């Protein structure tokens, strides 16, 4: 069984990016800038944001923090408009979920699509669905980058994606089924209303678990030699647990991502990649 080490792979991605960023900063006289918006005091979001800021530092990207204990819809929209106009800001990251009462879709719609490094703006979602260049959401793009770096190509294989969220499941299914490197899979998108999920999984050469249920995918659902990618981060009494029951799945799978240290670090590395792409768009 191959352990798909996202922590180490993300480190490599960041190191490569650092070299590129230093060269770009020398050439254009400024660093790429990522504005990070955090509203409220959700402890998990605080951890994510801190990790994103640390990654920026690692890559030579300037992080421009906007931590607000609370904000009205109008204040938040005002801030986004301001960041859209700010020439130091190449990317805007608004950590989700927003506190109750704030309309996240309305805010996401306001972000300049050329600064939408999360790939959540309808323009970028549309471009993705058309297979056009644009920002891709960081988690699916990070997952595909991880597979690429381990030479695990889903082309012509059966892939099952569990979970149909806008952030992970839906875009991942779309990206895997498109043409291009590390894609071309035959994809089944499963969700809470799928009739026989275990049967779908047992057919799959690649399983991507993004359901948000601790240890949901068990060894009996996995075909011998399958690749299993765990996108889940569940906080339980046992600590951080993925959507995959690692101990039973490792007996069947050819490769598995651990939690923590699998997909999570790749998501953050991809945010850095997207920010550098945004910088190139703005200086070019
Ligand atoms: N919350 C959970 N995942 C994400 C993500 O990829 N981006 C943002 N902005 N918020 C999130």
104 three-state secondary structure: helix
Position 284 scores a pLDDT of: 84
Kindly report the three-state secondary structure assignment for every residue of the chain.
CEECCHHHHHHHHHHHHHHHHHHHHHHHCCCCEEEEEEECCCHHHHHHHHHHHHHHHHHCCEEEEEEECCCCHHHHHHHHHHHHHCCCCCEEEECCCCCCCCCHHHHHHHCCHHHCCCCCCHHHHHHHHHCCCCCCCHHHHHHHHHHHHCCCCCCCCEEEEECCCCCCHHHHHHHHHCCCCCCCCEEEEECCCCCCHHHHHHCCCEEEECCCCCCCECHHHCCCCCEEEECCCEEECCEEECCECHHHHCCCCCEECCCCCCHHHHHHHHHHHHHHHHHHHHHC
The answer, yes or no, to whether any atom of ligand 1 lies below 6 A from the CB of 273, is: no
What is residue 276's three-state secondary structure?
helix
- pLDDT score for 86: 98
**Bridge partners, residue 217, by sequence:** 244
Q: Domain 29-112 classified CATH 3.30.470.20?
A: no
Q: Known binder of ligand: residue 165?
A: yes
- Report how far ligand 1's centroid is from the alpha carbon of 104 (Å): 12
**DSSP secondary structure letters along 39-100:** ES--HHHHHHHHHHHHHHHHHTPEEEEEEES---HHHHHHHHHHHHH-TT-SEEEE-SSPPT
- Cα(26) to ligand 1 centroid in Å equals 31
Structure tokens of 43?
A: 């402890």
- Ligand 1 site, residue 93, Cβ cutoff 6 A: yes
The pLDDT value given to residue 167: 97
Quick: pLDDT tens for 199-221. 999 999 999 999 999 999 999 99
Instruction: Give ipTM to 2 decimals.
Output: 0.93
Check pocket membership of 210 for ligand 1, CB cut-off 6 A: no
Per the annotation, the verdict on 105 as an active-site residue is no
**270 CB within 6 A, ligand 1:** no
Q: Is 126 annotated as a binding residue?
A: no
- Regarding the beta carbon of 173 and ligand 1, being less than 6 Å apart is answered no
Is 138-263 a CATH 3.40.50.720 domain?
A: yes
The values of phi and psi at residue 243, to 5°, are -85, -5
252 labelled catalytic: no
138-263 shares the fold of 29-112: yes
Can you tell me the distance from the alpha carbon of 235 to that of 259, in angstroms, rounded to the nearest whole number? 11
pLDDT digits (tens, 9 = 90+) for 32-45: 999 999 999 999 99
Closest CA to 182 of 212, 222, 153, 216: 153
Q: Where are the domains of the chain?
A: 29-112, 138-263
Q: Which atom of ligand 1 has the smallest separation from the CA of 167?
A: 6
Asked if 178 is an active-site residue, the reply is no
pLDDT at 146: 98
Instruction: List the chain residues with pLDDT less than 50.
Output: none
Q: What backbone torsions phi and psi does residue 90 show, to the nearest 5 degrees? A: -90, -35
- Report the run of H or E that residue 161 belongs to, with start and end: strand 158-162
Q: Compute, in angstroms, the gap from residue 242 CA to the centroid of ligand 1.
A: 17
* Whole-number pLDDT of residue 112: 98
């Amino acid at each position: 069984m191959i352990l798909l080490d996202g922590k180490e792979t993300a480190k490599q991605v960041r190191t490569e990016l650092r070299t590129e960023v230093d060269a770009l900063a020398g050439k254009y006289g400024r660093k790429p800038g990522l504005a990070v918006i955090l509203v409220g005091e959700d402890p998990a979001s605080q951890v994510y944001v801190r990790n994103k800021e640390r990654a920026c530092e690692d890559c030579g990207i300037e992080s421009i923090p906007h931590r607000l204990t609370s904000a009205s819809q109008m204040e938040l929209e005002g801030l986004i408009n301001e960041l859209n106009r700010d020439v130091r800001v190449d990317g805007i990251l608004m950590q989700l979920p927003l506190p109750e009462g704030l309309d996240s879709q309305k805010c996401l719609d306001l972000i300049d699509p050329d600064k939408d490094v999360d790939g959540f703006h309808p323009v970028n979602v549309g471009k993705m669905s058309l297979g056009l260049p644009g920002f891709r959401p960081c988690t699916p793009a990070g997952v595909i980058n991880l597979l690429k770096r381990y030479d695990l190509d889903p082309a012509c294989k059966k892939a099952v994606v569990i979970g149909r969220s806008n952030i992970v499941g839906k875009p991942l299914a779309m990206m895997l089924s498109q043409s291009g490197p590390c894609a071309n899979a035959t994809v089944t998108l499963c969700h809470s209303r799928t009739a026989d999920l275990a049967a779908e999984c047992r057919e799959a050469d690649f399983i991507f678990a993004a359901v948000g249920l601790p240890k949901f995918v068990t060894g009996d659902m996995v075909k011998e030699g399958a690749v299993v990618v765990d996108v889940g981060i569940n906080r339980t009494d046992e600590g951080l647990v993925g959507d995959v029951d690692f101990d039973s799945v490792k007996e069947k799978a050819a490769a598995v991502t651990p939690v923590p240290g699998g997909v999570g670090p790749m998501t953050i590395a991809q945010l850095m990649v997207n920010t550098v792409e945004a910088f190139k768009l703005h200086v070019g």
